[in-house]
Amino acid sequence: MNLAVFCSGFGSNFQALIDAVRAKRLRASIALMVCDDPKAYALKRARKHHIPVVLINPRLFKTREAYERTLVSILKGQNVDLVVLAGFMRILSTHFVRAYRNRIVNIHPSYLPAFKGSHAIRDALAAGALETGVSVHVVTAAVDSGPILLQEKVKIRKNDTPKSLEARIHRVEHRLYPLAIKRYMKKLSDVVLSRRGTNG
């Protein structure tokens, strides 16, 4: 399967996917990395591993739909099968979600449905929660709400800071994301095979 990984920042999850592909723990190809920020460190990772980059500034488009239409045509042109959001700080509208229905996954730093949104780690600490976690889910039009593929809890320690908690969450993410994608790819290809079977 051809993956497109979407990043806006540091890209440590992107790196975990690169490593999993290189180690053949994930039998897929990262066809491209899509980025919306020219300052993202993830760009350096892509360059280092010779992964083609699509860096487009959404502000150059009149509407979000126009931006997403361009993205979809690039992805289709590169035969992308699965879109992998890895710290992509932009909400994808129904236009994009429909074009890649059931073929977009995301990783979120909480045990969903708890602590949705872009400050999940800070919110878990501020709420005085005893535990939080990591969730990998299928992306639907509703933010952080699609079907869960894999989840794991992470305990919050008394002396945790956003930084220390984030570091432990990241360790779990880097292990969970390649595994969740591997299982989901298997599920998707089983569906394709069984459809072919039915159609003769």
170 is catalytic: no
Q: Please identify which of the residues 108, 137, 170, 174 carries the catalytic annotation.
A: 108
Nearer to ligand GRF, 64 or 119 (CB): 119
Nearer to ligand GRF, 41 or 61 (CB): 41
Nearer to ligand GRF, 47 or 76 (CB): 47
Measure the CA–CA gap between 148 and 111, rounded to whole angstroms: 10
Min. distance of Cβ 13 from ligand GRF in angstroms? Answer: 3
The radius of gyration of the chain's CA atoms, rounded to the nearest angstrom, is 17
The token pair that represents 180 in the structure block: 């969740």
Min. distance of Cβ 31 from ligand GRF in angstroms? Answer: 18
Measuring CA to CA, which residue among 105, 108, 109 is closest to residue 181?
105
Cβ neighbourhood burial of 175 (10 Å; 0-12, 13-18, 19+): middle
Min. distance of Cβ 120 from ligand GRF in angstroms? Answer: 8
Q: Backbone dihedral region of 186: left (phi > 0), alpha (psi from -120 to 50 degrees) or beta?
A: alpha
By CB under 6 A, name the binding residues for ligand GRF: 7, 9-14, 86-87, 107-109, 173
Known catalytic residues? 108
